[in-house]
Amino acid sequence: MGKESNETKLESTQAKPAHHAIAVAKGDGIGPEIMDAVLSIFRATNVPLDFEYVDMGKSIYDQGYSAGMTTDAKEKIEQYGILFKGPMETPKGKGVKSVNVTARKVWNTFANKRVFKSLHGVDTVFSRAGIPVDITIVRENIEDTYGAIEHMITHDVALCRRFATRPGALQVHRYAFELARKKGARKVTCGHKANIMKLTDGLFLEVFYEVAKDYPDLVANDVIVDDLAMKLVSRPHEFDIVVLPNLQGDIISDLCAGLVGGLGFAPSANIGDNISIFEAVHGTAPDIAGQNKANPTALLLSGIMMLRHLGLTGSAAKIENALLYTLEQGVRTADFGDKNMPALGTTDFAQAIIGNLGQMPSYSKSSYAAHPDAFEHNPPKKLSQNIMRVTPKPSERIIGVDFFVESEDQPDVCASKFQAVLDARYELTMISNRGTQVWPTGSIYTECINQHRVRVEVANEGEMSQQAVLELGARVAGAFKICTIEYLMEYGGKKSFSLAQGQ
Residue ranges in 328-347 that form contacts with ligand NAI under rule CB under 6 A? 335
Q: Does 78 interact with ligand NAI (rule: CB under 6 A)? A: no
The secondary structure element, H or E, covering residue 152 is strand 144-154
Cα–Cα distance for residue pair 334/379, rounded to 1 Å: 39
Q: Does 267 interact with ligand NAI (rule: CB under 6 A)? A: no
Q: Does 250 interact with ligand NAI (rule: CB under 6 A)? A: no
Q: Does 36 interact with ligand NAI (rule: CB under 6 A)? A: no
Q: Does 305 interact with ligand NAI (rule: CB under 6 A)? A: no
- Of 82, 285, 324, 488, the residue at the interface with ligand NAI (CB under 6 A) is 285
Cα–Cα distance for residue pair 453/450, rounded to 1 Å: 10
User: Alpha helices of 274-426 — where are they, by DSSP H?
Assistant: 297-309, 313-328, 346-355, 411-421
- Cα 480–chain centre separation: 39
- The DSSP output letter for 328 is H
Question: For helices 313-328 and 297-309, what crossing angle results, to 10°?
Answer: 160
- Specify the residue, 284 or 366, whose C-beta has the smaller distance to ligand NAI: 284
- Cα 75–chain centre separation: 24
Minimum separation from the CB atom of position 351 to ligand NAI (A): 17
Minimum separation from the CB atom of position 467 to ligand NAI (A): 45
- Of 109, 112, 276, 295, the residue at the interface with ligand NAI (CB under 6 A) is 295
What is the b/e burial string over 324-338, where b = at least 16 CB atoms within 10 angstroms of the residue's CB?
bbbbbeebbbbbbbe
- Of 294, 327, 350, 431, the residue at the interface with ligand NAI (CB under 6 A) is 294
- Specify the residue, 102 or 432, whose C-beta has the smaller distance to ligand NAI: 102
In terms of Cβ atoms closer than 10 Å to its own Cβ (0-12, 13-18, 19+), residue 414 is buried
Q: Does 323 interact with ligand NAI (rule: CB under 6 A)? A: no
Minimum separation from the CB atom of position 285 to ligand NAI (A): 4
The piece of 3-11, 282-290, 420-428, 436-444 that touches ligand NAI (CB under 6 A) is: 282-290
Q: Does 135 interact with ligand NAI (rule: CB under 6 A)? A: no
The piece of 87-95, 137-145, 316-324, 471-479 that touches ligand NAI (CB under 6 A) is: 87-95
Measured at CB, which residue is nearest to ligand NAI?
Answer: 283
Minimum separation from the CB atom of position 135 to ligand NAI (A): 19
Q: Does 109 interact with ligand NAI (rule: CB under 6 A)? A: no
- Compute the Cα dihedral for 55, 58, 59, 63 and give only its sign: positive
What is the b/e burial string over 416-440, where b = at least 16 CB atoms within 10 angstroms of the residue's CB?
ebbeebeeeebebebbbbeebbbbe
Asked whether the beta carbons of 245 and 192 are under 8 A apart, the reply is yes
Site residue total, ligand NAI (CB under 6 A): 21
- Specify the residue, 103 or 312, whose C-beta has the smaller distance to ligand NAI: 103
Q: Which residues bind ligand NAI (CB under 6 A)?
A: 30, 34, 87-90, 100, 263-264, 279, 282-288, 294-295, 298, 335
